[in-house]
Chain A
């Protein structure tokens, strides 16, 4: 069992606050990803959960039992490091066996020479060897057990590191950017394997990454962490479609979401660079807003259509499956990116004038501070105002 409850967790190094009042409930068996840019505190959070660092505030519990005072070795949590952290002087087999050796054998039994003379040592060693072989078979590394880490490739080291974490059947796995040292192809493969592994083990996994593709493809839930603040927690789809803040909207999604300046027009309408969107968000007239639209949400309209963004094609990226069109839109500071199918994109050329329609249900509206404004709340308010 491995339900992890984090409440009010804070960490400062001197005057620098790395984590601010982070609270998070992770269900047993869940795959939760901590997503954020480098330096956002996600690795620190992971290290605090592991017991490698002490928090300055708040508390962590596993299955309702507080573990704040416990040293790393007493927490029953395994971790896979970005650098794999395999012991270079030990073979893969002995790397994997070490956690079991430390847990199952007494200090006397662990002693070289003397240990092997003590009763029970041989039986324990044999049992450990069987467990190691079992895990190695599950991860398909049985043929590598006699090699030292220096003789293994990145992907193989990764598997050995996973095996070392798995072998003692911990309450939870912590994975700190485990795929970032692998090449792109292997990374995609390991992504699928990790998801599969999680399904088989059904153990809680907390996965730290700055790579949104990993977060989106593997997780049950994603927790977006920025500047030490936990901005949003939810299933990947929700994080992508329904971000709470502009920061989250901008961090998740590639190419980046288009952010356009907007303004409240008549009640219920938002003016955005010539487009009038019936969004029904709250706010007085003329309040400055920001309208964010995903590249794939924008629709190419006829050049003479009304209520559209207008601009010229600046740059076309044909990726084969999609075509990313960058357009200079009057009034927008950055080029607006539209994802089109290659056929539609192929008809455009640099300099072509285009009109882009924003489907109102795909537009996300944020206030000047970047906080999401939701239409439904506004409609409710309008209704109240009417009554």
Chain B
């Protein structure tokens, strides 16, 4: 391929990527733009990204005062952090056992994990609701966290990663005097850090954005997670006040975007799972 041809291909490729990026980003850009505009401009017919009259302070101020937005954010942090911590506690030992220990029924267990991976969260929602009702935990943090403590995806992801760690490393650790928990803690965990970061992002994004389950189990506004908070906002503000609503959604989305940008490299490292070599 000569230079000119490759340049054409590169241009074409970038054009396609650019178009994709525009389609992805447009709603977000529009959201930010709307959050800065006064109501009359939001509904005006001419398209303009920047507001003629800056209304940011009013919109964001309203978003923070009309509903307890900070409380929603705090709820989001408590719930996602609680879920992720519990998921690690369960999935790390489980994944280690399935990757490195030999025991009867290991394959069956792994198959069950795969099956678990294929069941959408909505399927067991009703039995879970009933169970939480019977133990009297509905409308609590526990109701938001407990159903997600065992993550089939987390077990699967960490198991795949642990399998790339050479057996000799585990053997060496055993000879050096480590028990199984020591091996997990001293050897496997530090090595699996990239995979853990990837899992952290996936888990946090999923549960930060989760709308369905909080909607099912939470009635009091004090426990609302950010997406549910947005809903309360819309209900209370009767729909038409889009400026503050968009300001609220910007605030809710921002942590995730920042988290992703900060951990982007780790995230890709973890996802490609280029384990240990040498």
Contact = CB atoms under 8 A, between A and B. Distances in A.
A52 B174 contact: yes
A78 B177 CA distance: 10
A88 B173 CA distance: 12
B227 to A, nearest CB: 37
Interface stretch (B43-51, B69-77, B164-172): B164-172
A61 interface: no
B278 to A, nearest CB: 7
Contacts of B179: 73
A98 interface: yes
B182 A72 contact: no
Interface SS of chain A: mixed
Contacts of A82: 168
B176 A102 contact: yes
A85 B169 contact: yes
B169 A73 contact: no
Interface SS of chain B: helix
A72 B175 contact: yes
B240 to A, nearest CB: 55
A217 to B, nearest CB: 26
A98 to B, nearest CB: 5
Contacts of B187: 87
B172 A85 contact: yes
Nearest to B189: A89
Interface residues of B, number: 19
A206 interface: no
Interface in B226-277: 276
A150 interface: yes
Contact of B191 (A78, A79, A89, A98): A89
Interface in A44-74: 47, 50-52, 71-73
A88 B169 CA distance: 9
A83 B171 contact: no
A122 to B, nearest CB: 20
Given A85-B166, A88-B191, A98 B176 contact: yes
Nearest to B191: A89
Interface in B24-55: none
A81 B171 CA distance: 9
Contacts, number: 61
B178 interface: yes
Interface band, chain A? 20 to 34
B176 A50 contact: no
A71 B174 contact: yes
A51 B276 CA distance: 25
B276 A73 contact: no
Nearest to A89: B190
B166 A83 contact: yes
Contacts of A50: 171, 175
Contacts of A98: 173, 176-178, 186
Contacts of A267: none
Contacts of A86: 172
B277 to A, nearest CB: 9
A88 B191 CA distance: 8
Interface in B142-186: 166, 168-169, 171-179, 182, 186
Nearest to B179: A73
A136 interface: no
A103 B168 CA distance: 20
A192 B193 CA distance: 40
20 contacts: A50-B171, A52-B174, A52-B175, A73-B177, A73-B179, A77-B175, A81-B168, A85-B171, A85-B172, A87-B172, A88-B191, A98-B176, A98-B178, A98-B186, A99-B175, A99-B176, A99-B177, A102-B176, A102-B182, A103-B177
Given A85-B166, A164-B176, 16 more contacts: A52-B171, A71-B174, A79-B171, A83-B168, A85-B169, A86-B172, A87-B172, A87-B173, A88-B191, A88-B276, A98-B173, A98-B176, A99-B177, A102-B178, A103-B177, A164-B172
